[in-house]
Structure 1
């Protein structure tokens, strides 16, 4: 199984799953149909299936056109009745080539958000807008409690899990992370390495869960010094309540310049 990104819009990645013995591909969150169609035309590929993580248009905008063109399977949240051919729920499995992806419900960014985890070969997580390199999605429909639960669920995956988020937000995320942990050596090293990647127009994704545990503030809201810095940015007192502390870190990021 090979996974690579097709850039779309300003900072989206449409992840393509390819098998060496197949002339078909799968797409994750194809917000722009033409990006996928152009790739298929250039490389003589057929789209066999689509995975949707959540309903936002930059993740679903190309699904209808692609479905009409290829008559492909579409897996995603059950309420997307005009797009999804097979609704999936937490704990379900989706077969992509010879690989089984487990569906993990991660409400928070949106209430319908799903991630897709595969433990065959390298561990892989398509995290949509739940977890990014160095950050997490805004809480737009869910609650801090739900988003913290999503972070906790992802943290329980194997440390070598490769995480494929859908936005190139890494450097902006690192600027905020460094405001909370300016002396975090792993974070400083990762920031330098990813600045070099972006200078060469290279994607910073995927990331590895082991790195995120060392550098991502939303997986580190249990750390007292980090919580204190976030609360200071909000002119609030730090909280010992895990949900409140997570909310403070998220709100600090929302207002970070």
Structure 2
């Protein structure tokens, strides 16, 4: 089995990178190894890889996992992946947009599902939001993303990075930082540093809430206007002032606080107080 590097494969097929698809392929083997190791892939795992590129990470995953299903949007990469990975009978390739595939259909009866993705920066948040909000049954999501976005995901209250994305991910997952990755690890070189995170799905969300949609609505309103007090930010809910006053009172939260100072548990308390008054 010929073991070509990413650079070799790109050269062999004269592949042209697409700016609009945000393509940056990994050329650093130590990062590949750390992603596979960080994802803790084993022979029981069904791995969904989003954005396989020319298949160098896919090949590593295929040697460790029971099966790998790769989802690729770029038509030019489909023949390359089929050719480079043809000797693996545990490989499946889906030519589609990851924002549009039915993950439940792909997962089927599989029990140990892990997602691995080197996400283009522009689709990071939509894909993470979709995987978490639509409750697909995966154990973990190991992703390489822009360092700045990774810092927002892992941020704690009272920091400038803490926001709606931090709460969304931390509500559903524990977060492990696998490693940081420099621009020199890619072709073409991106302008920013990257980070590899593993998001481990919790058995149940970090806080029980009476209405999940309302909980996330409260969170979004508070961070849409993060410089405003919660009292002003939540005017967007269009509820009577006396209702909001009672809700803050019942939750024992000062309406003059800003959203960035609240923990997930406090947001849950406030959302439940609002829910009880509706």
TM-score range, shorter chain: 0.3 to 0.5
Structure richer in strand, relative to its length: 1
TM-score (norm 2): 0.37
TM-score (norm 1): 0.39
Structure richer in helix, relative to its length: 2
Indicate the structure (1 or 2) with the bigger Cα radius of gyration: 2
